[in-house]
Amino acid sequence: MALEIEDKFDVPEGFALPDLGGVPGCEGVSEPLSHRLTAVYFDTPDLRLAARGVTLRRRRGGDDEGWHLKLPKAKGARQEITRPLTRSAKVVPAELASLVLAYTRGAPLAPVAQLETRRGITRLLGPAGTVLVEIADDRVKGTVLGDEPVVRRWREVEAELKEGERDLLKKVAKRLRKAGAAPADSASKLARVLGDRIPAPPPRTRPEPDSAGEVVVAYLRAHADALIAQDPHVRLGEEDAVHKARVACRRLRSALKAFKRIVVGTEHIQGDLQEELKWLGEVLGEARDLEVIRARFATRLDGLDPRFVTADARRRLGDDLLAREHDAYERIRRALSEDRYFALLDALDALAADPPLTATAAKNADKALPKIVDRNWRRVTDAYEAARCMEEGEERETAMHDVRKAAKRARYTAEAAGMSGAAERAKQVQEVLGRHQDGVVAQGVLLEEAGRARQAGEDTFTYGVLAGIESAEAARAQEEFPAVWSRLA
């Protein structure tokens, strides 16, 4: 996967590239190169990828021929995933087809357009001949495939940053504009050739300005979009992707609960939208929890006297947990390819487009939302008061875990409402109790692994040492909590 940072320009047929020598930060300009490129673009019959700003193509020619998948642009850059050419020119490789399932929802992929490009390349060079910026001058023949093919021709210029700072790309863009180039009207060549065939996004309900509904709906839409955006990264097993997708699920579910007086009836969307988000969060959670606990034990083991660490224990708490993590990732990939998941995404799309709002949604946000935030903080205080009345033991442990869950919901609610102070207060409660919960969970995993080691006839001393550390960590967090609560409350 590569990060593509580029500017695209429309240029007239008689356009001439300006002299790019002397651009500050560059040490030279390469001799021009030329390529002939042929690219076939794949999409669903109703162009679901194009509608989401995703392009999937098979390209021959040039120095990067192969399969290219470009994900939607974010923060001025696009992520591009490349794979080598396959023998079949009509069947998308299974891996790439899976990476766009969040957009296709299982619909078949087929060729929809072909682009033939005569490309002239000029490169701005840095120290030791490194390529800093590549300028592609393209003359394009685009054909929309179908029973009656439609052909379009045009010329465009792309300036892509290969190395260095984005300021360098801005300097190149400035020279191109002075020479007569104009920022491109289309985000991609495919969008240009398909034109108005690309379906417009479904219309979205616009709540009253400055209303509670406007704030809540914007929050729901942002995290629904975030969940879909993380899908291909989760399938690739990228660092932190599962965590981000899981957090998006939790925030959506928490918001639907907390703001049920603003957005109603979600229990009737896709059976029960909150329950479906819970299901997906649990699917994602298995791999994430194993990832976190494995890293935790690695840190603990590295900090111990080597005499206390057996090779068998390091293997079980490292490689064995990693193998279980890989199995959990496979279960995630299977779940993300099921109709149940696609139905959940459809439900989130429907919610984002036309959320079922109440009369309360029209009220001023500054008046309505603080009351909801306060109500969710009271859930935290009520849960803690109930826990304090219990004797030490398993029942109280469960009650304190409920306090942590209530604090997490209060935090997400406050963040959605833009109340940073209330969010920080809830976050501190969540974090202290989280340290306690992490220690309890770690002890449970250690007991399981020690049991397996004992059955295999292995030394279990290391597990006892780690269990003692985790017990002390959990106890320390528990002892700190009353003081933290006193300060916050």
Output the pLDDT for position 76: 67
For residues 290 and 321, the answer to whether their CB atoms sit within 8 Å is yes
3-state secondary structure of 215: helix
CA atoms within 13 A on the CB side of 179: 20
Output the pLDDT for position 271: 58
Residues 6+ positions from 152 with CB-CB distance below 8 Å = 141, 142, 143, 144, 192, 193, 195
Output the pLDDT for position 269: 58
* DSSP state letter for 113: E
Output the pLDDT for position 183: 94
The position carrying tokens 């149940």 is 340
The position carrying tokens 């790309």 is 169
Buried b / exposed e across 404-422, counting CB within 10 Å, b at 16+?
Answer: bbbbbbbbbbbbbbebeeb
Could you state, in chain order, the average pLDDT of each consecutive group of 10 residues for the chain (489 residues)?
85 91 87 94 96 95 92 79 92 96 96 96 91 95 93 95 90 94 91 93 91 96 96 94 96 94 72 90 95 96 95 95 95 96 95 93 96 96 92 86 95 96 96 94 95 96 96 93 90
Residues 6+ positions from 252 with CB-CB distance below 8 Å = 220, 223, 224, 227, 277, 348
Cα distance between the two ends of the chain: 47
Distances (CA, A) of 278 to 71, 218, 227, 256: 27, 21, 13, 12
pTM beyond cutoff 0.75 = yes
